[in-house]
DNA sequence: CGTGCTTTTGAAAATCATCAAGTATAGTGG
DNA sequence: CCACTATACTTGATGATTTTCAAAAGCACG
């Protein structure tokens, strides 16, 4: 609830007083790291919001190849689906806390909170823009550019959220996850980050804490201008 | 207006009688092949629906690399953007016909046609699902798998739409466009299609008319099972 | 029947993947 | 508390898919 969960989540559209009623419809669930809580193809009976932690959303090919389509953190709304079954999987990256709502009550919910529909449309529109950006990354950027883009994207959106030194980011997900998100292999991620470090573009406090030392050059790299 | 423009377009949510009023707000525009009608970064003053022809939506990198994020054909709604400027470009692939609406009147429009908001959410949700599928393609599929997926995707959604022989598809876009959509080069597209042809999975009446001769094997290929 | 553009084909090169192994890190039980 | 094991991360050598560079073939249009 700290750092903008309310401001950025779908609840942002809801009056403070109404939050009580909304909360009554939600089932809070603790999800341990590694647990899958949405499975592709399963009937889409619920939708979710993440109240703590991080989840990865992904699709699979029959032979196990995996594409992570996004990471969802605090305040993110999950489960937008027109079809009657989920089109992706969701798994907790770290121990997380989610709120579950019944999908069949979504209609009722929207009737009760009309602003919600507008808000959902905004959420969907934003995700669509992000998805297009990711398609550009996956289809046209080099490994270096992908990693730079990823690191920078991790930086924005956590303003005031953490107690990290300025310019630092935390990577709660494993290298394998980053690889499956960027359409690369673990080895390439590792090598690329090592190279970025040797070029003093980043600094690695630990595998999970990265300092973006040369923001400008990273930015240039990420946008394909280097 | 034939083959489902009304059924699949956003207007599907609107009563027949109200269509008149809606039409009064729209500016029909003829867009010749090759003309750009949405430019990334420009103020998002309008939104559009395509009433004839095909458009490509794309993003660019400063050095000219291009990623086509989708092809929009009859009935498609364009311009969902929360931000005040467009996040992508749109250009007509063939001579097309579009309807332009003022964005600032969208709110009014939605107030007049409440079903519209629901409809827009559905459109956005569907596009999101398609975008995730495309991320899987761009991040994890081989060239062969991408081309097979593309051809199959072109097949569905035109049921009863054309006078083409059963199993045939038309590709209004150039090879370069297919390449930029699939994250490959023109040469790879060409080589891959030649190979699919030599394996009797497809037949090429002309560069733009393709027959999907072996639907099952194409399907297996597209889903990574071959 | 050129002229220009799209598509196709060929040869060489490059980026990234694969295979393999070493190092660090965290959690577990003695 | 410390060794031990499992896992994650990193590094190296090799290889393959796809890109790049180059040019020929096909088509449309004037």
Contacts of A10 in chain B (CB under 8 A): none
Contacts of A222 in chain B (CB under 8 A): none
Residues across chain A: 226
Give chain D positions with protein CB within 7 A: 8-13, 17-22, 27
pLDDT at B79: 86
Between B125, B140, B224, which is nearest A81 by CB? B125
Rounded mean pLDDT of B91-100?
A: 96
Closest CA to D21 C1' — which residue?
B187
Rounded CA Rg of chain A: 18
| Token representation of residue A33 | 């790291």
**Strand D at less than 7 A from CB of A176:** yes
- Residue from B152, B131, B136, B143 nearest A64 by CA: B136
Smallest CA–CA distance, residue B225 to chain A, in Å, is 7
Contacts of B56 in chain A (CB under 8 A): none
| Helix H or strand E encompassing B188 | helix B186-198
Under 8 Å between Cβ of A28 and A105: no
Q: Determine, for residues B59 and A134 on separate chains, whether the beta-carbon distance falls below 8 Å.
A: no
pLDDT at A4: 47
**Per-residue pLDDT at B171 exceeds 90:** yes
pLDDT at B55: 97
CA separation for the pair A119, B16 (Å, rounded): 28
The residue to which tokens 């054309």 are assigned: B162
- Residue from A35, A41, A72, A40 nearest A56 by CA: A72
Residues in chain A with pLDDT < 50? 1-2, 4
Distance from CA(B185) to C1'(C9), angstroms, rounded? 14
pLDDT at B9: 67
- Residue from B56, B9, B6, B53 nearest B29 by CA: B53
Rounded mean pLDDT of B58-84?
A: 93
Summary count for chain B: helices (H), strands (E)? 8, 11
The number of CA neighbours under 13 Å toward the Cβ of A197 is 14
- Residue from B95, B110, B13 nearest B52 by CA: B95
Choice among A104-118, B7-21, B189-203 with the minimum mean pLDDT: B7-21
Name the nt closest to B197 by C-alpha to C1': C8
Structure confidence by residue, pLDDT tens digits, B32-49: 999 999 999 999 999 999
Q: Determine, for residues B67 and A121 on separate chains, whether the beta-carbon distance falls below 8 Å.
A: no
Choice among B70-84, B97-111, B153-167, B200-214 with the minimum mean pLDDT: B153-167
Contacts of B135 in chain A (CB under 8 A): 59, 67, 69, 131, 134-135, 138
pLDDT at A1: 43
Between A61, A66, A135, which is nearest B134 by CB? A135
DSSP B75: T
pLDDT at B4: 47
């Amino acid at each position: 609830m700290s750092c903008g969960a309310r401001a950025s989540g779908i609840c942002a559209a809801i009056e403070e007083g109404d939050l009580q009623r909304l909360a009554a419809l939600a089932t809070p669930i603790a999800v341990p790291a590694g647990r899958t809580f949405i499975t592709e193809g399963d009937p889409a009976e619920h939708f979710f919001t993440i109240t703590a932690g991080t989840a990865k959303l992904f699709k699979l090919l029959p032979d196990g190849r995996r594409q992570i389509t996004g990471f969802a953190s605090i305040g993110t709304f999950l489960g937008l689906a027109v079809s009657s079954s989920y089109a992706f999987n969701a798994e907790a990256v770290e121990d997380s806390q989610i709120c579950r709502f019944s999908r069949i009550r979504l209609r009722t919910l929207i009737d009760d909170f009309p602003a919600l529909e507008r808000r959902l449309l905004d959420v969907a529109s934003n995700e669509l823009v992000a998805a297009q950006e990711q398609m550009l990354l996956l289809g046209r950027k080099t490994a270096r550019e992908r990693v730079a883009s990823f690191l920078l994207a991790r930086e924005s959106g956590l303003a005031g959220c953490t107690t990290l030194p300025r310019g630092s980011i935390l990577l709660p997900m494993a290298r394998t996850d980053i690889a499956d998100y960027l359409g690369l292999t673990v080895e390439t991620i590792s090598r690329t980050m090592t190279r970025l470090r040797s070029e003093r573009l980043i600094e690695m406090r630990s595998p999970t804490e990265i300092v973006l030392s040369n923001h400008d050059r990273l930015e240039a790299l990420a946008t394909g201008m280097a």
